[in-house]
Amino acid sequence: MTLTTDQPRASSGKTHQAEASPAMTSQQFEAIFLEHWPRIYRTLVQLVGDPDEAEDLALETFWRLYFHRPDKQRETKLAGWLYRVATHLGLNALRAWKRRQRYEAEAGLFDSVADPVESFAADEERSRVRQALGEMKPRQTQLLILRYSGLSYRELAEALNVSVNSVGALLVRAEREFEQRYRRLNPTGE
């Protein structure tokens, strides 16, 4: 399968081939894919937990790049776009997960989403971490997850559309917020 370069988009839009967006060759797309896949996938696992779902969402992220690339040429801006889309998808899934958790906790069905392979304690803690993340403002959650994924301040700034100089302070705030929420969910713990 090769990606072909685009002609101007058909205005009627009826049965045009969904081709790669202008000015991106198949090599370029593949290079971007190969470079960013591991971190995108990792980010999504951190957000949604289930590796299969994370994989689906990661693929979805790259499809959006493939079909509807934004008009941003620079590599770093593109990476920022990718991370934004990925974390949006992940946060949506996290929200749905959170709702289901709340419902199942209320219905006395807590632990039904536990992975039977892992120990109960580790699973509970993972659940708490994810819940704390889910309770925070989405942008703070994004920031923490992406930072943990190893993005530099410049990359974070691109991904979240903030100035590089503000990243430090934003991180401190986000971490403080995360701790507060985590503690609230874990009163018997440390």
Choose which of 5, 7, 27, 96 interacts with other proteins (CB under 8 A): 96
Closest distance of CB 154 from other proteins, Å: 8
Q: Give the per-residue contact string, 97-136, with other proteins (x = CB under 8 A; - = no).
A: --xx-xx--xx--------------x--xx--xx------
Q: Give the per-residue contact string, 25-44, with other proteins (x = CB under 8 A; - = no).
A: -----x--xxx-xx--xx--
Count Cβ atoms within 10 A of the Cβ of residue 68 and give its class: 0-12 exposed, 13-18 middle, 19 or more buried: exposed
185 binds other proteins per the rule CB under 8 A: no
Q: How far apart are CA 70 and CA 77, in angstroms?
A: 10
Closest distance of CB 169 from other proteins, Å: 3
- Report how far apart, in Å, the C-alpha atoms of 36 and of each of 30, 92, 135, 157 are: 10, 21, 27, 17
Which tokens in the block code for residue 161?
């559309």
Closest distance of CB 136 from other proteins, Å: 12
Q: How far apart are CA 48 and CA 127, in angstroms?
A: 10
70 binds other proteins per the rule CB under 8 A: yes
**What residue has token string 């992406």?**
146
Choose which of 6, 28, 59, 75 interacts with other proteins (CB under 8 A): 59
Closest distance of CB 26 from other proteins, Å: 10
3 state DSSP class of 9: coil
